[in-house]
């Protein structure tokens, strides 16, 4: 053990070993991995070792595909056998909705370039897995690159490869204490002595919570129990001349693979159970938890029905081991805001499937400043402090675990961790019929419905559509009122505020009393935000964006901060409403003595207005494509602002609206949103945000890379608007787009345009075919539909209405 390392990795499971390997591969060879006992002595040693293609997040599915490819590479490099069994795998569907879902996911795999996946019927399922009962099956999705590995072999292959490249692997050496030094390095106190490290990585697995608390961080992770059984030799399997595929029975809550001449059956029981919620004891080693067969009896019965040969099989061993889960089941990866040079790589419950992608992404982040892929789905910054609450963790991890194989629908709202944060007018909006969604712990109105209405979860258009259509029509013909509590707001102040904003934002700064759309870029020229920048004219500035990106954006602001600038997150103190529609000016004018005409408050103008008794900050902006005003007030004025606006709007037909209708309205204007049209995986030229960039204003973060793309002729794929010949379902995102059988792009988001009376989708397509009138096809819920590129902003293309 040396006295100084560039990186100290805490945890010798598959994730810690993968991080060490990837750092060394990228040239950071001065790395030490500290393991309190021996490699794998946590969750890794007892993992079932299966790997498969499916993930709800396509970006994470792509990283899973990377991991599968990597396994053979590290086996060759290390000389360590990883026990690879590329047996293939099948996700089976025993319900019509599930079969539709698999068909849709098959097409998403094509979008990602994963071409070893195809759909098969019950007969082929039986042919590939003779021991399965296919009664009631509709079909399955077969992947050639699925199977299982030897967990211990994989961990040692990562570690040996890292060691061959210069890393130190230090077993039997628990980290006892972490102290940060004034120069931001770390003093790492271990059982065998003290070292200094420039960076620390928490890959603690079952002990990640304790390793976080060493530096004052309470991570939203907790261990949960997970069962599988391994049988004795089964004659029906022993006599086969091939290996059974890995089977995921989505309606049976089980997964199955062959284990020697027997079977391994794993269960995601609906009756979940947490284990040592504060983390495993430090002296917990290569141990198991006593099995609880009664608790898993319902799922076991389904498994024994699906594989009748189990009914006469002897059980060789039970495994009930703990795995660490985050609230949404995805890993926690990345730098921790407010703790310099402290990184996390934990909560990776599918370590052997995702460990390679996690290690790759974190290593790239540390070495290059950002990962190659868009990894927001596993970024630690997707959670805020609220997610570290023990009860929140208990509810959400339990919900995820029990629903691991349960069918989820795009319009479905789940109950765990709710109701947590509410706008002050929440009760009044609820009484008015609001149906609620959830955004980073905050309740936000999706739509307003009549008493007793219950929305049916579906992959197709919702039975709530009539309410959405009425809300959209109100905005187009009269006025709509939208709660904007789900907007983030940051106040920027200090003597260096203007200079700092000019460096961080890619746009030209707005003049006093004006607002601008403000793209924000990373050093590589990729997007870091589609924000709104407001210059209130009194020396203060606001940045506005998406509520769920608060931690993510504040981490970025602080990492690129300046001594003479203060950036405050005021999102919980300032809230408001958007008033939008042709009658919105008349409604607002009733409540203020100030001029809100186009002369007094022009489009993209902002200022302080008296709105009734409220001194409000008002910006003339529109996310609906109509004349609109964003009216910001203090939180304790929110309910009053709602009341007076509704009262003033009665004679003009003002109607409360939710975000579901807004989504339809913005699609008709070809307005993109973050996480759909705009992500950190895209560039400004791809998304059209380059038109808001002031390349000639001087230096700003990301300018050189964005300018190089512009000078090279732009992006190879660009954002377009599609009109789709849909029936009862619309595109939602990641559906593949075809031109005469050739993949030419994918949908970023879609829905029904109630004003236009047609299905609309926004999509990234090859620039060569990005011309209005081009005929294409797109798969929606697995079915091929005709589509055509149309001019952007099909509703009011000149923008005259919102500028009126």
Q: Is 469 exposed, middle or buried (0-12, 13-18, 19+ CB in 10 A)?
A: middle
**Would you say residue 52 has pLDDT above 90?**
no
Each residue's pLDDT tens digit, 616-635: 999 999 999 999 999 999 99
- How many Cβ atoms sit within 10 Å of the Cβ of residue 317? 12
3-class DSSP assignment, residue 713: coil
- Confidence at 281, pLDDT banded by 50, 70, 90: very high
Each residue's pLDDT tens digit, 498-539: 999 999 999 999 999 999 999 999 999 999 999 999 999 999
Predicted pLDDT of residue 65: 87
**What own/partner pairs with CB < 8 Å and gap ≥ 24 does 424-427 have?**
424/575, 424/635, 424/636, 424/638, 424/639, 425/483, 425/638, 425/639, 425/641, 425/642
**Would you say residue 369 has pLDDT above 90?**
yes
Q: pTM, whole model, 2 decimals?
A: 0.96
Residues contacting residue 496 through CB under 8 Å, at least 6 positions apart: 562, 563, 564, 565
Q: How many residues does the chain have?
A: 804
**Would you say residue 644 has pLDDT above 80?**
yes
Residues contacting residue 363 through CB under 8 Å, at least 6 positions apart: 19, 22, 23, 25, 26, 28
Each residue's pLDDT tens digit, 2-18: 999 999 999 999 999 99
Rounded CA-CA distance 345/356 in Å is 11
Each residue's pLDDT tens digit, 109-137: 899 888 889 999 999 999 999 999 999 99
Predicted pLDDT of residue 63: 83
Rounded CA-CA distance 798/777 in Å is 28
**Would you say residue 351 has pLDDT above 90?**
no
623 contacts 672 by C-beta, under 8 angstroms: no
152 contacts 44 by C-beta, under 8 angstroms: yes
Query: Taking residues 676-689, what's their average pLDDT?
Result: 97
Each residue's pLDDT tens digit, 372-404: 999 999 999 999 999 999 999 999 999 999 999
**Would you say residue 61 has pLDDT above 90?**
no
**Would you say residue 57 has pLDDT above 80?**
no
**Would you say residue 570 has pLDDT above 90?**
yes
Average pLDDT for the chain: 96
Q: Which ranges constitute the DSSP H helices of 13-95?
A: 14-25, 58-78
**Would you say residue 660 has pLDDT above 80?**
yes
Query: Taking residues 556-561, what's their average pLDDT?
Result: 97
Query: Taking residues 447-469, what's their average pLDDT?
Result: 97
3-class DSSP assignment, residue 755: coil
654 contacts 645 by C-beta, under 8 angstroms: yes
Closest CA to 266 of 303, 313, 235, 309: 303
Strand pairing class (4-10; 193-202):
parallel
Interior CA angle at 551 toward 547 and 556, to 5°? 115
Query: Taking residues 716-737, what's their average pLDDT?
Result: 97
DSSP string computed for 304-338: HHHSGGGGGPPEEEEEEEEEEE-TTSS-EEEEPTT
Rounded CA-CA distance 446/416 in Å is 18
Predicted pLDDT of residue 60: 81
Domains of the chain: 4-325 (3.50.50.60), 706-803 (2.40.30.110)
61 contacts 116 by C-beta, under 8 angstroms: no
Predicted pLDDT of residue 763: 98
172: left (phi over 0), alpha (psi -120 to 50) or beta: left
Query: Taking residues 441-447, what's their average pLDDT?
Result: 98
Closest CA to 201 of 366, 350, 77: 366
Cis amide linkage into residue 419, ω under 30° from 0: yes
**Would you say residue 172 has pLDDT above 90?**
yes
């Amino acid at each position: 053990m040396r006295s100084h390392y560039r990186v100290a990795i805490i945890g010798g499971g598959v994730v810690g070993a993968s991080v060490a390997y990837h750092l060394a591969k990228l040239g950071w060879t001065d790395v030490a991995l500290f393991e309190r006992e021996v490699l794998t002595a946590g969750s890794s040693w007892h993992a079932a070792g299966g790997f498969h293609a499916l993930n709800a997040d396509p970006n994470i599915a792509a990283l899973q595909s990377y991991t599968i490819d990597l396994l053979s590479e590290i086996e060759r490099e290390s000389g360590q056998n990883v026990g690879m069994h590329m047996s293939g795998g099948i996700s089976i569907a025993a319900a019509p909705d599930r079969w539709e879902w698999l068909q849709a996911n098959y097409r998403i795999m094509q979008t990602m370039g994963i071409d070893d996946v195809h759909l098969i019927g019950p007969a082929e399922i039986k042919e590939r897995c003779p021991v399965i009962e296919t009664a009631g099956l509709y079909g399955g999705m077969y992947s050639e690159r699925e199977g299982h590995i030897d967990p211990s072999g994989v961990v040692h292959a990562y570690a040996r490869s890292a060691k061959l490249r210069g890393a130190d692997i230090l077993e039997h050496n628990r980290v006892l204490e972490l102290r940060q030094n004034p120069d931001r390095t770390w003093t790492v106190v271990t059982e065998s002595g003290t070292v200094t490290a420039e960076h620390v990585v928490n890959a603690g697995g079952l002990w990640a919570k304790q390793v976080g608390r060493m530096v004052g961080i309470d991570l939203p992770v907790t261990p949960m129990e997970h069962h599988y059984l391994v049988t004795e030799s089964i004659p029906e399997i022993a006599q086969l001349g091939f290996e059974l595929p890995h089977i995921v029975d989505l309606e049976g809550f089980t997964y199955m693979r062959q284990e020697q001449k027997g079977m391994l059956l794993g269960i995601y029981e609906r009756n979940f159970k947490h284990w040592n919620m504060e983390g495993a004891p430090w002296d917990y080693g290569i141990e198991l938890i006593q099995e609880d067969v009664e608790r898993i009896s319902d799922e076991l019965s389904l498994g024994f029905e699906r594989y009748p040969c189990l009914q006469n099989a002897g059980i060789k061993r039970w495994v009930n081991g703990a795995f660490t889960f985050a609230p949404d089941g995805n890993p926690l990866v990345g730098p921790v805001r407010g703790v310099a040079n402290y990184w996390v790589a934990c909560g990776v419950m599918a370590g052997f499937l995702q460990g390679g992608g996690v290690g790759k992404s974190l290593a790239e982040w540390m070495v290059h400043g950002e990962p190659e892929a868009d990894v927001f789905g596993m970024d630690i910054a997707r959670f805020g402090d609220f997610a570290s609450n023990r009860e929140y963790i208990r509810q959400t991890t339990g919900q995820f675990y029990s629903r691991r194989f349960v069918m989820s629908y795009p319009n479905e709202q789940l109950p765990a961790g709710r109701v947590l944060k509410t706008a002050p007018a929440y009760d009044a909006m609820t009484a008015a019929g609001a149906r609620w969604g959830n955004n980073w712990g905050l309740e936000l109105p999706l739509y307003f419905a009549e008493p007793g209405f219950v929305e049916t979860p579906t992959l197709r258009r919702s039975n709530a559509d009539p309410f959405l259509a009425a809300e959209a029509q109100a905005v187009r013909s009269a006025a709509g009122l939208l709660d904007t509590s789900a907007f983030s707001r940051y106040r920027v102040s200090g003597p260096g505020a203007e200079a700092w904003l000019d460096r961080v934002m890619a746009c030209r700064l707005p003049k006093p009393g004006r607002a601008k759309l403000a793209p924000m870029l990373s050093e590589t020229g990729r997007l870091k935000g589609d924000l709104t920048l407001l210059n209130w004219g009194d020396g203060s500035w606001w940045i506005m964006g998406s509520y769920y990106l608060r931690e993510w954006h504040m981490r970025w602001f602080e990492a690129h901060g300046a001594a003479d600038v203060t950036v405050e997150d005021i999102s919980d103190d300032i809230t408001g409403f958007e008033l939008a529609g042709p009658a919105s000016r008349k409604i607002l004018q009733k409540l203020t003595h100030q001029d809100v005409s186009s002369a007094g408050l022009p489009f993209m103008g902002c200022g302080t207005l008296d709105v009734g008794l409220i001194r409000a900050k008002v910006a003339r902006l529109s996310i609906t494509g109509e004349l609109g005003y964003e009216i910001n007030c203090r939180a304790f004025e929110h309910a009053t602002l709602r009341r007076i606006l509704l009262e003033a709007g009665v004679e003009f037909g003002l109607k409360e609206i939710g975000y579901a209708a807004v989504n339809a309205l913005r699609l008709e204007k070809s307005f993109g949103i973050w996480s759909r049209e705009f992500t950190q995986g895209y560039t400004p030229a791809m998304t059209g945000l380059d038109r808001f960039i002031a390349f000639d204003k001087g230096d700003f973060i990301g300018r050189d890379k964005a300018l190089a793309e512009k000078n090279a002729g732009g992006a190879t794929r660009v954002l377009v608007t599609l009109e789709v010949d849909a029936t009862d379902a619309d595109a939602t995102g990641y559906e593949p787009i075809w031109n005469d059988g050739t993949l030419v792009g994918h949908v970023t988001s879609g829905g029904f345009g109630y004003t236009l009376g047609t299905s609309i989708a926004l999509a990234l397509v090859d620039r060569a075919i990005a011309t209005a009138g081009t005929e294409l096809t797109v798969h929606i819920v697995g079915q091929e539909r005709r589509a055509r590129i149309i001019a952007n902003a099909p509703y009011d293309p000149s923008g005259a209405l919102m500028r009126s």
